[in-house]
Amino acid sequence: MVMRHTGRRVALLAGLVVCLVAPIAAWPQEITMPPESFKRLDQFEAHTLAKADVTFGRREFPRAWKEYDAFIKEFPRSKAVPYAIFRKARCLHLDEKRYEAIKTYTEVLDYFPNVIEYAAPALYFTGIAYWASGDKLEARKAWAELAEDKDYCKHVLAGDAIVRLAAYLVEKGEVAKALTYYERVGVEFRQVDPKAAAQGIDAVVTYYIRSRNDEAKLRELYRKFQTFGNIAKVPDDLGKDWGYWSTIWSLVRKNGSFSKEEQDLSDAYWKYWAKALDKLFLNNDDFRIDVAGMHLAYERNTEKWYKRLDDQFESYQKEGDAVRILKWLSLYAKHKNKVTQYYQKLNLGSMTQPLIIRLMEILYDEVGDADLARTVFRQIRIDRMPDTEKASLARYFWKRDWSVAVYIYTKFEDPLFAKMETMRYFHASRIVKEGLPLAEELSKEPKYADEAMWAMAQFLHWSAKYKEAINAYQQCSSRMPENLWAIVECYRALRQLPQVVQQLTEIENFVPAQGPRARLAIAYAYRDFGQAAQHEAELRNVLSKYPKSGESSQAHRDLEAMGKRIGGAVDERDRK
């Protein structure tokens, strides 16, 4: 018993971490000087600072650092000095000089602590720098100071800082304190930083759904956060409010996955939430069916599950409502005795054609009773269906019973359309023997010529009749450049390198968007035909002709793998 209790406690603690460690996004965009502040600078200050900002925007951080430093020395009494110092720190930070950046952020905090628009970000990024350096304790101190200062905590970056602080507290086992922070950011940053607020709300709500199973607290939070989604007015009485309960229902389903080792937690979870939802929305079938499933999850009693579902059905079933009977048939698909029971409730003669087809699909695909499905199929009035609907029905049988599809094709009013659908089946299934003659025949019919010619080309290709396939592909002009690539494959199969290169060059010349791919394919063709010198030359050709392409990056990697000097080639980082 002790071991079981210990295991349960460990699982619970692991669950807390999963619930409360909200995902941490990259920080928001860079802090800039407000336009109204910039307008108050004199002409020389504005020119010098704008020049530094442009350099910063180009991510030339060492140079930008010097320009901000020059501004500070030239205009030591300027009101823009706090901003310039902050930007100096950002240059160092973004240049991976984190400890130097921290010292410079500290200058902002030491000399200009009341200039909130730069002091608060300096504190935020101090935490970021410490965290990236592995000093989580100092990061926590910085974010905690930001969170607790009555002025700093109003800055837009404070929301993300509080989320990061809360995540750290969860790691350290300080769950109660973390929850306080998450709840706070969910309330205070709904307008200022919706993303941070959403992270806080998600973390605290998930905790009370999964780890604490506390609906009363969730109801309180729903009011406090003004719903868990977009801000909206909350009704006075949530007891039967569908907006609230549908949200809880969704969250319960979302957080209901447990490992085999968490069976005790799983049972407690589903028992709590099944009872919390048990007496609600009695006429909502989907809701009631799901609640019955929750009871089943911890009771593991199929007979009780049957009773709940049957009672729901009987309480709200109206005479002739076949749609609802089909819903229950689908629910009971793996329970043969119940399938029989609900099938007998149907009056096939009064059902619409679409419902009969839907019943047949349930029996085939969900119940797995092909014999009963065929019985239902015989009730379908195929002669009354337009050919397009017959085609759709026949396609349903392509992978279930081809003989039924063949029967349906005999019922088409347009025999040519039936032939085309038959050919499409053979093409989709790569059945060359029966498909090729049909494709050849249909390629002479104007209505279907393009598609049939393409199918014929592929049938020939698949049967290794490469020369005939090339001739057919060449007639598929509507399929360019797909047909040209298929011709390349045929020439490769025929081991005709000059023709492969010629065809790929044609693609490169006439389809510019696929030029890099075609040129790289030429390099690989030379490689596969054992011509190493040409292979290397063509890889370099890719680098030269298409330096910003993904194929250039691949050619770069290939040459490196071959041990060849690149000589100024563009790699992936240069492309970005």
**Residue with the two structure tokens 């930008």:** 64
Last residue of a domain, one of 479, 512, 536: 479
Task: Kindly state whether residues 473 and 389 are assigned to the same domain.
Answer: yes
User: With contact defined as beta carbons under 8 Å apart, do 397 and 404 qualify?
Assistant: yes
Whole-angstrom distance, CA of residue 116 vs CA of residue 501: 66
Q: How far apart are CA 302 and CA 379, in angstroms?
A: 33
| Any domain includes 519 | yes
H helices of 207-241, in order, are: 215-225
In a domain? residue 46: no
Residue 399 lies in a domain: yes
Nearest CA to 536 out of 499, 504, 508, 563 is that of 563
Same domain, 475 and 505: no
503 and 576 assigned to the same domain? yes
pLDDT, one tens digit for every residue, the chain (576 residues): 333 334 444 444 445 555 565 555 555 678 999 999 999 999 999 999 999 999 999 999 999 999 999 999 999 999 999 999 999 999 999 999 999 999 999 999 999 999 999 999 999 999 999 999 999 999 999 999 999 999 999 999 999 999 999 999 999 999 999 999 999 999 999 999 999 999 999 999 999 999 999 999 999 999 999 999 999 999 999 999 999 999 999 999 999 999 999 999 999 999 999 999 999 999 999 999 999 999 999 999 999 999 999 999 999 999 999 999 999 999 999 999 999 999 999 999 999 999 999 999 999 999 999 999 999 999 999 999 999 999 999 999 999 999 999 999 999 999 999 999 999 999 999 999 999 999 999 999 999 999 999 999 999 999 999 999 999 999 999 999 999 999 999 999 999 999 999 999 999 999 999 999 999 999 999 999 999 999 999 999 999 999 999 999 999 999 999 998 876 444 443 444
Verify that 449 and 392 share a domain, yes or no. yes
d(CA 46, CA 43): 5
Looking at the fold, whether 510 and 444 belong to one and the same domain comes out as no
Asked whether residue 571 is domain-assigned, the answer is yes
Do 474 and 506 lie in a common domain?
A: no
For residue 455, how many other CB atoms are within 10 A of its CB? 26
Q: Is 62 exposed, middle or buried (0-12, 13-18, 19+ CB in 10 A)?
A: exposed
The answer as to whether 178 is a domain residue is no
On whether the CB atoms of residues 142 and 123 are closer than 8 A, the answer is: yes
* Cα 259 to Cα 266: distance, rounded to the nearest angstrom: 8
471: in domain: yes
Instruction: Estimate to the nearest angstrom the gap between the alpha carbon of 550 and the chain centroid.
Output: 23
Regarding whether 465 and 385 lie in a shared domain, the answer is: yes
CA torsion sign for 318, 321, 327, 331 is positive
Question: What pLDDT was estimated at residue 28?
Answer: 60
Same domain flag for 461 and 396: yes
pLDDT in tens, 335-356: 999 999 999 999 999 999 999 9
- Do 516 and 471 sit in the same domain of this protein? no
Please state, as a whole number, how many other Cβ atoms lie within 10 Å of the Cβ of residue 34: 11
What are the structure tokens assigned to 7, written together?
A: 């295991």
Handedness of CA 353, 355, 361, 367 (dihedral sign): negative
In this structure, what CATH number is given to the domain that contains residue 454?
1.25.40
First-to-last C-alpha distance (Å) of the chain: 58
Q: State how far the Cα of 469 lies from the Cα of 462, in Å rounded to an integer.
A: 9
Model-wide pTM > 0.85: no
3-state helix vs strand vs coil in the chain, percent to 5: 75, 0, 25
Final residue in a domain of this structure, among 479, 511, 544: 479
573 and 522 together in one domain: yes
The number of domains in the chain is 2
Same domain, 508 and 541: yes
Residue-number span of the structural domain to which 506 is assigned:
498-576
Q: What is the pLDDT of residue 49?
A: 96
CB 483 within 8 A of CB 460: no
End position of a domain, from candidates 450, 479, 508: 479
pLDDT at 27: 54
In whole angstroms, what is the distance from residue 53 CA to residue 58 CA? 9
Which pLDDT belongs to residue 540?
95
Q: What integer pLDDT is reported at residue 40 of this predicted model?
A: 93
Within this chain, do residues 386 and 475 fall inside the same structural domain, yes or no? yes
In a domain, 186, yes or no: no
Kindly state the tokens that stand for 466.
Answer: 């490469």
Residue 221 domain-assigned (yes or no): no
